[in-house]
């Protein structure tokens, strides 16, 4: 009997994507919620280098770093045929999302004044890049997802960020012009939110917002 266990925390976009991937392909797993201020022995033992969630433990073998875990899940349980070029393109944008996109988003959360304004400008520019990538990968919106007709690797990477858009707007006190500037991303985000896996795994935006305000308090006094 194979054992699949996920160590994560409910608000982490990195952790949520692992659960969405497992739900999508119907792999049964055990879930362990981690308190990041009091990490379990198992987490410290399974990810001694970074001591971060998410970790996937498959038959006692730990796999760390969410993008690497998603690739492992694809290689282990998913048989979708993706060309080397399309795979490289999806990995490029996943890397962009976690470095440049998340970085600007997190700076909106943890800064104010000019630093926050700068992060907001970068966020809008990053969304423009993602809109362009989606245009290319969905053949100008004729296919529903970054994965083309399938909800694929990059869709899973980005889906948890959809629930953060509203958080960035609320904390940054601005409106992201989705309908006019990023129409493909807008439609894609709505499509993601309708998927059973995503509805099941992502937290409500109220609960998330409350948590992110707590995180913000550690960095700035408003
Ligand atoms: C990021 C994971 C991460 O930041 C990945 O898996 O993709 N590149 C990694 N995990 C955070 C929680 S989410 O903000 C974490 O575990 N932090 C604990 C700590 O830093 O002590």
160 and 202 belong to one structural domain: yes
Same-domain status, 97 and 189 = yes
Separation between Cα atoms, residue 165 and residue 84, nearest integer Å: 31
Half-sphere exposure of 16 (CA within 13 A, CB side): 23
**Is the minimum distance from the CB of 168 to ligand 1 under 6 angstroms?**
no
- CATH number, residue 163: 1.20.1050.10
Q: Is the pLDDT of residue 186 over 90?
A: yes
Is the shortest distance between the CB of 147 and ligand 1 below 6 Å? no
Eight-state DSSP code of residue 99: I
Compute φ and ψ for 177, nearest 5 degrees. -80, 70
Question: Would you say the CB of residue 149 lies under 6 angstroms from ligand 1?
Answer: no
Do 117 and 73 share a structural domain? no
pLDDT tens string 106-134:
999 999 999 999 999 999 999 999 999 99
The pLDDT of residue 80 is above 90: no
Decide if 163 is inside a domain. yes
Q: How close is the Cα of 53 to the center of ligand 1, in Å? A: 5
Last residue of a domain, one of 44, 77, 110: 77
Among the candidates 77, 107, 124, a domain finishes at 77
Residues 18 and 16: their CA atoms lie apart, in Å, by 5
SS3 category, 149: coil
Q: Is the CB of 99 under 6 A from ligand 1?
A: no
* Ligand 1: nearest atom to the Cα of 54: 6
Residue whose CA is closest, atom 20 of ligand 1? 52
Does residue 52 sit in the same domain as residue 156?
no
Q: Which of 24, 44, 77 is the last residue of a domain?
A: 77
Q: Quick one: 90 and 198 in the same domain?
A: yes
pLDDT of residue 116: 98
Q: Is ligand 1 within 6 A of the CB of residue 16?
A: no
CB 181, CB 131: distance < 8 Å: yes
- Read off the pLDDT band of 154 (50, 70, 90): very high
Q: Is 78 a residue whose pLDDT tops 90?
A: no
Please determine, for residue 81, whether its predicted confidence score (pLDDT) is greater than 90. Answer: no
Alpha-carbon span 111 to 99, nearest angstrom: 18
Dihedral Cα 185, 191, 194, 198, nearest 10 deg:
-60
Measured from the CA of 53, which atom of ligand 1 is nearest? 16
CATH code of 22's domain: 3.40.30.10
Q: Are 108 and 172 in contact (CB under 8 A)?
A: yes
| Total structural domains within the chain | 2
Structure tokens at 211: 């948590």
- Please tell me whether residues 108 and 64 are part of one structural domain: no
Residue 122 and residue 202 in one domain: yes
Answer yes or no: is 222 within a domain: no
Q: Is 163 in the pocket of ligand 1 (CB under 6 A)?
A: no
Give yes or no: residues 39 and 90 share one domain.
Answer: no
User: 140 in a domain, yes or no?
Assistant: yes
Average pLDDT over residues 214-220: 95
Under DSSP, is residue 193 helix (H, G, I), strand (E, B) or coil?
Answer: helix
Cβ 51 under 6 angstroms from ligand 1: yes
Report d(CA 13, CA 39) in Å as an integer.
18
Question: Which atom of ligand 1 is the closest one to the Cα of 64?
Answer: 6
Quick one: pLDDT at residue 79?
80
**Contact (Cβ atoms closer than 8 angstroms) between residue 108 and residue 119:** yes
Check whether residue 88 and residue 188 sit in a common domain: yes
Q: Which domain holds residue 61?
A: 4-77
């Amino acid at each position: 009997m194979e054992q699949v266990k996920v160590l994560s925390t409910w608000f982490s976009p990195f952790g949520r994507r692992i659960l969405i991937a497992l739900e999508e392909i119907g792999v049964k797993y055990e879930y362990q919620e981690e308190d990041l201020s009091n990490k379990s022995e198992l987490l410290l033992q399974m990810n001694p280098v970074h001591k971060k969630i998410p970790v996937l433990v498959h038959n006692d073998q730990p796999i760390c770093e969410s993008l690497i875990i998603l690739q492992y899940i694809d290689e282990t349980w998913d048989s979708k045929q993706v060309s080397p070029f399309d795979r490289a393109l999806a990995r490029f944008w996943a890397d962009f999302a976690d470095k440049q996109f998340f970085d600007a988003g997190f700076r909106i959360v943890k800064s104010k004044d000019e630093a926050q304004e700068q992060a907001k400008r970068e966020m809008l520019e990053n969304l423009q890049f993602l809109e362009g990538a989606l245009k290319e990968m969905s053949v100008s919106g004729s296919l529903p997802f970054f994965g083309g007709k399938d909800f694929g690797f990059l869709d899973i990477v980005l889906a948890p960020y959809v629930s953060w858009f509203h958080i960035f707007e609320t904390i940054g006190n601005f409106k992201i012009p989705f309908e006019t500037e990023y129409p493909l991303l807008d439609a894609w985000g709505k499509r993601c939110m309708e998927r059973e896996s995503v509805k099941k795994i992502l937290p409500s935006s109220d609960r998330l917002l409350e948590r992110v305000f707590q995180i913000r308090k550690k960095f700035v006094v408003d």
